[in-house]
Amino acid sequence: MKKLCTALVISTLAALIASAQTDWAVPGATLRVDVRIQRLPDHKDLGVFVKIPDGGLLPGKYPIPDVRDDKGNALEHLIVGYLQSDSLGVLFAQPESGDTAHIYIKGSATAPTKPSMTHLFPSVLLYAKNGNASLETAKRMASEYPPAQGASFNTWTCIGSMVNPYGPDDDFSDWYVGAILLKKKESIYFATVSDEGSEFAIDGKTVVSWPGIHTREGGAKGQHGASVELEAGLHRVDYFHFEAKGKQESQLTWRRKGITEGPVPELVNDFVKSGDAAITKIAFKDGRAGAAIHGTSEPNGYFWTGEQPLSLFTLSYVGTDAADDTLSVTWEFGKDKRISEPLVEWLVPGDADQISYPVTLAISNKAGVARTSARLVCPWTPTELSLDNQGDRLNFRKALYNMIRATSKGADPCADWKPDHWGMLVELLEPYRAGPILYEIFTRGFETLQKIPPEQRWALEDRFIETLRLQRNDKLLLEWINKLEANERNSSRKFRWKDERVCAYLFDVNDVASAKRDVAFLKEAAIAPDQTQIAALRQGDVERSLGNTEAATKFYKDAQERYRSRNKIGAAGGRLAYVGPRKRKDTESTNAVDKAASKRPKLQSLTSQKKVDDWKIYTVHDTSMFATITSFLAQDAVPEAFQKLADWENESPQSKLSGEYPLAEAKVYAHVEDYRRAINAVDAYRKVVTMSAQLADAMKLELDCLQKINDKKRAKELAGDFVKRFPGHPFEAEMKEVLAL
């Protein structure tokens, strides 16, 4: 039986390999890259350019390409660049028909020989190499084959740049190769503007050399140039440059006959270009699948909260067979960071010109695994993104979560985070919208979390507790409240967790007895004025939950007076500012101020007015607060809605008994899907109110929340109570439907 199974496996693999080889035009090749021509060359000698990723994907020390058309006919081709850690650049002749080509690649231990008879050359390509900066290093790149060994390269728009797009802006050499196409014979003045040395040649003949260490000043007006007589047709241009330190610049400029206006000279802006091809599939001869990474040098943008900017990359891949249902994809970021997603957002800290962050893409199918590695780089400073933009906020959140998910389960996901990661996370998280990020951080990276600034940690703790509330796991919620209190050294923050425990028992767990027990501890721990006010407020909440309206009123009044006294809050909820007579130099001015001041209501008169018109003041205040919170929710301004609710609770807690506060509270919690707190807010309200203008709406909201958490028993009880209280009400039909279930 064992021999039979082995034979079947061998037979299956043989069939797989045989299938892969049926359309293999170059038997000695290890892999094939299929490409589609997206843009034709402006001239046939400029060919079609394609970059094929390596980073461990391609075979041998030197990968040797063999380009074929759809019929298997060989196409003239040329290697135009090779960097083993990055990619292989291939330029091939445009096929006589069709828009596809197939590049077969085999490995070699020795460097390939440059084709002796070829008219192909690319336009425009930029090569850059760091280290040993000089014109000699730049020109050596053009004399090698494959050209520019050890240099980064890619297509460019012109011959000119103010940066090194592939690395640090100091100590580098670069080489541009491009072409101009003239319709008639012309005499053109060409010049170089550079910092430091530069030199350029046309059709292989040096035109101008401006060597040495210098700035642009000596050539800004085209002083280093010469007139060249060029026949009609295609002309190759090679430009060499190096940068030692300081500012950097390289520009090929010209002045054509008949042009008398504009800069002297102007940047050459009439280059013809090679064609462009995109990879559609990478397949190994043995049946494995390969892929090319997209997005490594195209960051979406950056955000800066502290020491360093964080650049956001979105990585994807091309080149796999969509019909292969055995395919799996894994992104690998350094040690022990792996995530399996077709598209992944990732954050990289550091200044743009210093970024060089490794990433590996592993593609596996039933035939095996193929890997390609690359580096995330910023060719130039990316766009600054804004956390005011919801799209940007979402992408940054995804990136942070991906970085957490990519860490193995037994490891701390934030051990290598920079202060900027934490700063961004605090900025990103809104009330009740932390999602799963914080659960991973607190459960797996609690020790690292203790090392960040306390203010940041406290903000994350608040968001984390909200996340736990949404899980409706009472045991877990209370365990974490206890843990956070036990771990806290700040006395005010410890008091905050005692308060949170009382709230949890009251509004989440529905354990009033435990809340009453813990509120006594809260009162004992209250030392500062704000703490004694909160303790009185929670005592009122406990009594309200027990249905003791008179006792609740007493505590709420105490809390209200403490808060208003401490914050100088007036009867209508606004802050009072003492306005005394200003000092005047003349008696007439002083008398005028005194007369005006005598007409203003004094603090005592405001207090007296409150006793007379208390109900009017509360009605106006509550109505204003309710309208403001409703408006915030309509705009999905959750932080603002919670802040206004907190202001309302502190300024006039007695509104919890008979005002519009409970309904507003329930609406806010329902909006963030904390249905238990919404239910408890309305339920406590119903215990102390027999009839009010808001009661029907409050009960309807409570029913909706009960249905959201699938509490059918309490939903029926509420529906029955509603039908008794409000016969003939528009909501009655819906309530009866609930009773019929």
pLDDT at 708 over 50: yes
C-beta separation of 223 from 191 below 8 A: yes
What are the tens digits of pLDDT across the range 26-60?
999 999 999 999 999 999 999 999 999 999 999 99
Question: How many domains does one find in the chain?
Answer: 2
In a domain, 600, yes or no: no
Across the range 428-439, mean pLDDT stands at 92
pLDDT at 114 over 80: yes
pLDDT at 258 over 50: yes
Q: Read off the pLDDT band of 117 (50, 70, 90).
A: confident
Domain harbouring 88, CATH code: 2.60.120.380
Domain harbouring 734, CATH code: 1.25.40.10
C-beta separation of 241 from 210 below 8 A: no
Give the percent of the chain with pLDDT over 70.
89
- The residue from 244, 272, 300 where one domain ends is 272
State the pLDDT at residue 619. 64
Structure tokens at 428: 């990103």
Which position has the higher pLDDT, 376 or 12?
A: 376
pLDDT at 6 over 70: no
Q: Read off the pLDDT band of 698 (50, 70, 90).
A: confident
From 62-76, 265-279, 658-672, 706-720, the region with the lowest mean pLDDT: 658-672
State the pLDDT at residue 5. 44
In a domain, 163, yes or no: yes
* Burial grade of 130 (CB within 10 A; 0-12, 13-18, 19 or more): buried
State the pLDDT at residue 567. 81
Give the end-to-end CA distance of the chain in Å, rounded to a whole number.
59
Q: Read off the pLDDT band of 87 (50, 70, 90).
A: very high
Provide the domain limits for residue 678: 614-740
pLDDT at 571 over 60: no
State the pLDDT at residue 617. 56
From 348-362, 526-540, 616-630, 673-687, the region with the lowest mean pLDDT: 616-630
What are the tens digits of pLDDT across the range 577-607?
333 333 333 444 344 334 333 333 333 333 3
Burial 704-738, CB ≥16 within 10 A → b, else e: bbbeeeebeebbbebbeebbeebeeeebeeebeeb
* Burial grade of 605 (CB within 10 A; 0-12, 13-18, 19 or more): exposed
Q: How remote is the C-alpha of 619 from its chain's centroid?
A: 45
In a domain, 206, yes or no: yes
In a domain, 460, yes or no: no
For residues 268 and 252, give the distance between their C-alpha atoms in angstroms, rounded to a whole number. Answer: 6
Q: Read off the pLDDT band of 683 (50, 70, 90).
A: confident
- The residue from 255, 272, 289 where one domain ends is 272
Q: Which residue has the tokens 């709230």?
A: 503
State the pLDDT at residue 108. 96
In a domain, 121, yes or no: yes
pLDDT at 67 over 80: yes
In a domain, 305, yes or no: no
* Burial grade of 43 (CB within 10 A; 0-12, 13-18, 19 or more): middle
Residue 274: name the closest of 35, 48, 36 by CA: 48
State the pLDDT at residue 379. 83
C-beta separation of 231 from 195 below 8 A: no
State the pLDDT at residue 688. 67
For residues 599 and 23, give the distance between their C-alpha atoms in angstroms, rounded to a whole number. Answer: 99
List Cα–Cα distances, 571 to 159, 491, 551, in angstroms. 73, 32, 22
Mean pLDDT of the chain: 88
pLDDT at 570 over 90: no
Across the range 604-615, mean pLDDT stands at 42
In a domain, 328, yes or no: no
H-helix or E-strand spanning residue 226 = strand 225-230
Instruction: Return the number of other C-beta atoms located less than 10 Å from residue 27's C-beta.
Output: 9
What are the tens digits of pLDDT across the range 455-512?
999 999 999 999 999 999 999 999 999 999 999 999 999 999 999 999 999 999 999 9
C-beta separation of 318 from 294 below 8 A: yes
In a domain, 461, yes or no: no
Asked whether the bond before 90 is cis by omega within 30 degrees of 0, the reply is no
Structure tokens at 713: 């028993």
pLDDT at 658 over 70: yes
Give the percent of the chain with pLDDT over 90.
77
State the pLDDT at residue 12. 44
What amino acid occupies position 291?
A
State the pLDDT at residue 616. 54
Q: Read off the pLDDT band of 622 (50, 70, 90).
A: confident
The alpha carbon dihedral of 652, 654, 655, 656 has a sign of: positive
What are the tens digits of pLDDT across the range 400-424?
999 999 999 889 999 999 999 999 9
What are the tens digits of pLDDT across the range 713-738?
999 999 999 999 999 999 999 999 99
List Cα–Cα distances, 580 to 577, 585, 588, 607, in angstroms. 10, 16, 17, 19
pLDDT at 573 over 90: no
Q: Which residue has the tokens 């997209």?
A: 294
What are the tens digits of pLDDT across the range 123-170?
999 999 999 999 999 999 999 999 999 999 999 999 999 999 888 899
Strand partners, 201: 206, 238
- The residue from 272, 292, 325 where one domain ends is 272
Structure tokens at 50: 């394609």
